[in-house]
Amino acid sequence: MSLPDAGGTGPHHIRDIALTKAVHDVGPRFEEYVTQLADELIDVVGPAGRADLIADYATRLPLLVAMGLLGMDERYAAAVQHSVRDICDRRPRAARSSAKLNDRLRQLVAEKTSVPGPDLVSWMLHHSPAASADEITWQARTLLMTLSADATTCIGQALDDDLVDETARGAQQPPTETTTTPPRSRLQPTTSQTTANRTHHHDQAEEAAHRALSLLTETTVETAVCALRNRLRHLRLTVPRRELLYDPTRWGPCPRNLPVRFVPAKPIVTGPVRWLPDPIFTTQPPAP
């Protein structure tokens, strides 16, 4: 990952600089971590030969990636996943779930302050020791929500483009060879959104943090789509495309579900599966 310089001074730059420098520290092996989680999810659905690529993959993977990146372990998994889904889906209990999520993130920051680990929160604390716990908590929440939502949308859109509608006349056959071509980048919002971002991110440190988060999202999307394309062969929709429902997003319409069938695939991950495995993408910060 090549990141812009996180320049700037003043208290309002602290959390942005912390994020940018921390992403630089976790970047080199981040793709490998995403691949590990992707393979575990594909192992779950592969043998059956059927799946909903949104519910079973595009929604689950980015959230697992974000939680692992921040340094959460199995203790956080269920509660954080439920809270994020409530917030993203705007369910009646969203406000309560939002408060619970903040509590969980404060707990995480407190734990990493006492015992740093090989994760993004620990590196943010290391690079900006003057930052308050609330500032680091806010940055962690921003990353969690943005990465999970944006990557889910872009993965769903890319996979939707790949699928053959068997009910359509003259449907083209899918490629029979494994492909490693990454999806075209979808992290390009509308012109008005781009203009707004340029205005909002005029400050160098804030722009650098924004770009760092975008790089994490892009890496997650490209790795996730390539992993699924390589392992699940002959993907086809099991319903007519006209029956699919789409939700509006800032990146364009995203399918609400993608029911598919494919050639059954054997699991490749051996041993017990941990949905939040120990991070492999970085080392813990050096002792002060």
Confidence of residue 109 (pLDDT cuts 50, 70, 90): very high
What are the residues whose beta carbons fall under 8 Å from the beta carbon of 216, sequence distance 6 or more? 23, 30, 69, 143, 147
Confidence of residue 286 (pLDDT cuts 50, 70, 90): confident
The answer on pLDDT for 171 being more than 80 is: no
User: Do residues 263 and 99 touch, judged by C-beta distance below 8 A?
Assistant: no
pLDDT tens-place string over residues 181-193: 445 444 444 334 4
Which residue carries 């691949």 as its tokens? Answer: 35
Distance CA 67, CA 148 (A): 9
The answer on pLDDT for 240 being more than 70 is: yes
Q: In a 3-state reduction of DSSP, which class is residue 175?
A: coil
Q: Which two tokens stand for residue 254?
A: 């995203």
Domains of the chain: 11-163+186-241+255-263 (1.10.630.10)
Distance CA 183, CA 173 (A): 19
In the chain, DSSP assigns E strands to 50-52, 164-165, 233-237, 246-247, 254-255, 259-263
The answer on pLDDT for 8 being more than 60 is: no
Q: In a 3-state reduction of DSSP, which class is residue 52?
A: strand
What separation in angstroms does the CA of 150 have from each of 47, 58, 91, 106, 220?
28, 10, 19, 23, 10
pLDDT at 209: 80
What are the residues whose beta carbons fall under 8 Å from the beta carbon of 9, sequence distance 6 or more? none
Arithmetic mean of pLDDT, 251-261: 94
Arithmetic mean of pLDDT, 47-74: 95
Distance CA 187, CA 122 (A): 27
The answer on pLDDT for 43 being more than 60 is: yes
Q: Which of 24-33, 70-79, 249-258 has the lowest mean pLDDT?
A: 24-33
Confidence of residue 282 (pLDDT cuts 50, 70, 90): confident
Q: In a 3-state reduction of DSSP, which class is residue 111?
A: helix
The answer on pLDDT for 203 being more than 90 is: no
CB atoms within 10 A of CB 175: 12
Distance CA 202, CA 184 (A): 27
Q: Which of 6-10, 144-148, 177-181 has the lowest mean pLDDT?
A: 177-181
pLDDT at 267: 92
What are the residues whose beta carbons fall under 8 Å from the beta carbon of 144, sequence distance 6 or more? 63, 66, 67, 70, 80, 84, 101, 105
Confidence of residue 74 (pLDDT cuts 50, 70, 90): confident
pLDDT tens-place string over residues 124-138: 999 888 889 999 999
Q: Which two tokens stand for residue 111?
A: 């734990």
What are the residues whose beta carbons fall under 8 Å from the beta carbon of 8, sequence distance 6 or more? 16, 17, 203, 204, 205, 206
pLDDT at 179: 40
Can you state the percent helix, strand and coil of the chain, rounding each to 5? Answer: 60, 5, 35
> Rounded mean pLDDT of the chain?
83
pLDDT at 280: 73
